Chains A and B, each alone.
Chain A
């Protein structure tokens, strides 16, 4: 609510500061893409900054040529689809039941659920108990332990509570049962919150790393993030380099590693512009009292 007037000194400073913020947020991604698309001689001489030099696709080709990346992609997609389905079903059921104001034991159940935000058993008991359930080295290890995010449950419950009772009453008059209200009244009216919570789950599963580190030993089950960590941080990309050089590609390790990181984050970067308004809504819903 600033009065329109002439451009002041402060406006210029603000313009530059925000320009810096935008540049800093984007720079690592632009630099990464430039190194990936540059030819080895420029990369070795460290000449690549914001723009690719000696455009070539060999680094991307070498990264795509690595089987492990594809296994990672396949596994992550599987965990994503399966995980989102299970998470959404459980969260919707829980949020719906708990949004009933007169529900018997509603308050104590809510307390039991909220307590898990404040306190958990920690890494070791989690690991031992999941192991005793037989979840080690199964796809369920990546789907079940994190099936419900308590914040998401609270956000959805708050939204359901905000649906006017009159609409539910009219549904009942039309003959809907306690269960029938959910698919015919509640869900159609809650599309924005379902979208937001679903996206939060999707990003969470896409990015999850430590569950795989703890519970998976079989590299055929590794999600993409763990594959990238093994290739880039631990440095197993040396052998990828050897095979790609043997197949006639000219690639340097730096471009190859950046290519792997880029491929690991590309799906999120690509869908981000379309979904960011849902995330913004989600962050606001989360700050409303549960």
Chain B
């Protein structure tokens, strides 16, 4: 017979006691702010606070949709997310295969170690280095451009360069560390498969196509789905640090716009209405991605 709820509560009392501070953390720092989004349906009043301000319904959602900037910001967020996915999904797979095919193990180990390092640098450090390297007067990259006989480019002042810089530096920062999941999949390929392929007369190229790549397809599928789900999760830090007034046309994404209008401008209700609209879309994407991943790969985030 199953013990009653009361008996189970009594049996688990120590565990529940240990769990209490953790639950308190989640309530205070995750769920109270989550319910704080009601502010987007209210007129935020400094003196009444989040909970007592007047209800205004969808007023701020209408404002946002009528704002001519709105579409530009949504488009920037979507485009940046999509380009990021397009370049950051395939590059680690290619690099992982190169690592795997490298025959000099010490050299491979060295390149792996070195390529993981940028992953641990802060966005402040990365953005600062970029600003320095891309400077039109003193930056090394512009020195090379001048050396080739071309006029220096004002990379960070030109809207058309923002996405390229953002994504190229993301690749630089993350490609190495993202190979780890693929390398683990590659390491678990059964050596007998290669044996069999060689018996059938497959050369190295054929072995790569018919044994190596199929070996990482499950990992590829899972990463594909999960990254697609997180497509709107762009780093506020980097867009904020690299963007400026001159490049707003492409660099202004949802999170930086929310920061500017909300925290700096003080339009709390308006800014959180925008944030919530995007968070709901993002939630649907992540939830669906995880469902699909569980079906396809029998693996999921949770």
Q: Which residues in A have some Cβ–Cβ distance to B below 8 Å? A: 1-4, 7-8, 10-11, 14-15, 17-19, 21-22, 24-26, 28, 31-32, 43, 46, 49, 90, 93-94, 96-98, 100, 102-104, 109-110, 112-114, 116-130, 132-133, 144-145, 147-148, 153-154, 177-179, 182, 203, 206-210, 214, 225-226, 228-229, 232-233, 254, 257-258, 260-261, 264-265, 268-269, 272-273, 276, 279-280, 283-284, 287, 289-290
Contact = CB atoms under 8 A, between A and B. Distances in A.
B172 interface: yes
A92 B268 CA distance: 36
B122 A124 contact: no
B26 interface: yes
A147 B30 CA distance: 11
A103 B241 CA distance: 45
Given A119-B279, A225-B122, A126 B132 contact: no
Contact of B114 (A7, A22, A233, A279): A22
Interface stretch (B64-72, B73-81, B97-105): B97-105
A153 B175 CA distance: 25
Interface of B: 5, 8-9, 11-12, 14-16, 18-19, 21-23, 25-26, 28-37, 39, 44, 49-50, 95, 98-99, 101-104, 107-108, 110-111, 113-118, 120-125, 127-129, 131-133, 135, 138, 140, 143, 172, 175-177, 180-181, 184, 189, 191, 194, 198, 204, 207, 236-237, 240-241, 255, 258-259, 262-263, 268, 271-272, 275-276, 279, 282-283, 286-287, 299-302
Contacts of A11: 103
B223 to A, nearest CB: 9
B128 A145 contact: no
B36 A214 contact: no
B271 A124 contact: yes
Contacts of A127: 262-263
A268 B121 contact: yes
B194 to A, nearest CB: 4
A262 to B, nearest CB: 9
- Tell me the interface secondary structure of chain B in the complex: helix
B117 A178 contact: no
B117 A124 contact: no
Contacts of A124: 36, 39, 258, 262-263, 268, 271-272, 275
A214 B263 contact: yes
Contact of B275 (A15, A122, A228, A254): A122
A21 B115 contact: yes
A283 B26 contact: no
Given A210-B236, A232-B128, A276-B116, A121 B34 contact: yes
A223 to B, nearest CB: 10
A12 B11 CA distance: 65
A257 B194 CA distance: 52
A10 B101 contact: yes
A122 B254 CA distance: 11
B120 A272 contact: yes
Given A123-B258, A123-B263, A280-B180, A129 B36 contact: yes
Nearest to B175: A21
